Amino acid sequence: MIGGLSLSNIQSLCRKYTSLSTTDIDKLKEIEATLSYYAELTDCYMFIDCMMENLPHAIVVAEAFPKTERGLYEKSVIGKFVFESFEPAVFAAFKNKEKSSMTRAITQEGITVEQNVVPLFNDQQQIMAVLIQEKKVDVQTTPKDDLQHMPFALIEHIVEPNSQPIPVVSDLLVESIILTNHENKVIYSNPAGYRFISELSGLERFDNVALDKSLPFLQEVYDKGDDVFFLEITIDRKSFIVKKIPIRDQNDKVTLLIIHDLTELKMKENELMMKTFAIREIHHRVKNNLQTVTSLLRLQMRNDLSASSADAFQEALNRIYSISSVYELILENEDNAEEKVDVIALSKKIGYKMVGTSNTSSIQLTFHHDNVQLFCHSKKAVSLALIICELLQNALKYAFIGREEGTIDIQFQKDASSISLHISDNGVGMQEVKASFGMEIITRLVEYDLAGTFLIIPSEQGTHTQIQFPVSEEVFILND
């Protein structure tokens, strides 16, 4: 038995909260069996902490207390989470894979200790846990000259009996630092803490007033007893994170409150949210306006038009639909704050729509993208949409003259730094490249918007075109 917990219980902690293998856990059990001897030999408290699998915290899985030492820990801490902000030496040992020490550290129970931490390795030289040795430090015997070297974990103040706390740098902090005694009365506050209490309580003096009485919303913090406690509070349109740390002095219990004002951050988050809503509203209006233009063109097409005029109207409708598809894909994802557009989905949306509305409904579309997920921001997506639209229009208009069926293949390929879009068909082929409005659109968009190249590749059958452009901040591959 160690710290009142059986080895099987400690083993269950490792299995429940860590990713350690059975071999690693067995090694830790061997070390656990010797902890009590080291605790007696060194007159120190001994612990084993492991990193948690799904949280950025550690967890205490073993402990041993010296029999002659009393007052450091009143209860077992096995199973308690360990936070980096309170015990940086523990996490430094995990990160650096070497011994870490703090001559003046404060535990999450509010106790000042000297702490030495040693990493524990498995046979593969992977760190599986840390061994911690703690010895209580008598705060009163700390020389005042050493105050300048104390870490913030010591709350930057030393509370001495019958004396005022000695400030170090707390007066320079934007956080509110407040110390209260066993009656929850304020015994110290830095300037930020004074303003916090004064503004929310309306009191100018509060040294004899229980803080949970003048600020009732802090009652929940004090009700949590001797545990370290975090709480986010919103009151009078102000938001705060309150961190409570119990500190045991020799004669009295002192509670440290560290209060961080989140009001400005919340306001900026709200502003960002409003901007996001505004952008989405703009996208909605752009999409709706494009649909209005489409409706007007379709109404115009109902009039008696020549074949060439009808073709021109349909080409315009296809281009408008291609642009509208970009905004539809953006709006389909409500969490798409970065306005990322799935280019593969965009090409399919445009392709199926154009084939479905063309006079060559027997044409088959095939897509190949080798599991590439290609995304780009809205501006680049509009350019790609128009390029795909023009190339498909050319294929549907010229590739299958005199034929009732055919295939158009759209393929995306990638290498380390570029993306290639291939659109090919098995039609009659292109005898010569003619200058046209569509070809001018393609060339300008590829060269100026995508900083890429456009090629017509010789093919034994049909026409094969290639667009190649670099991967950039606005054009990127999410994953394979």
**Contact partners, residue 302, CB within 8 Å, separation at least 6:** none
Higher pLDDT: 241 or 7? It is 241
Tell me: pLDDT of 86 over 80. no
pLDDT in tens, 217-263: 888 888 876 667 777 878 777 888 888 888 765 566 788 888 888 87
Residue 63 CA to residue 78 CA, distance in Å, equals 7
Phi, psi of 416 (to 5 degrees): -65, -30
Tell me: pLDDT of 5 over 70. no
The mean predicted confidence, pLDDT, of the chain is 79
| Eight-class DSSP state of 442 | H
Ranking 26-40, 58-72, 205-219, 242-256 by mean pLDDT, the lowest is 242-256
What pLDDT was estimated at residue 109?
A: 61
- pTM, full prediction: 0.48
* Size of the chain, expressed as the number of residues it contains: 480
What pLDDT was estimated at residue 195?
A: 82
Residue 264 CA to residue 260 CA, distance in Å, equals 11
- Cα distances (Å, whole numbers) of residue 129 to 25, 82, 93, 102: 10, 13, 9, 18
pLDDT in tens, 449-472: 899 999 988 787 889 999 999 988
Tell me: pLDDT of 143 over 50. no
Residue 221 CA to residue 229 CA, distance in Å, equals 7
Q: How many CB atoms lie within 10 A of CB 304?
A: 7
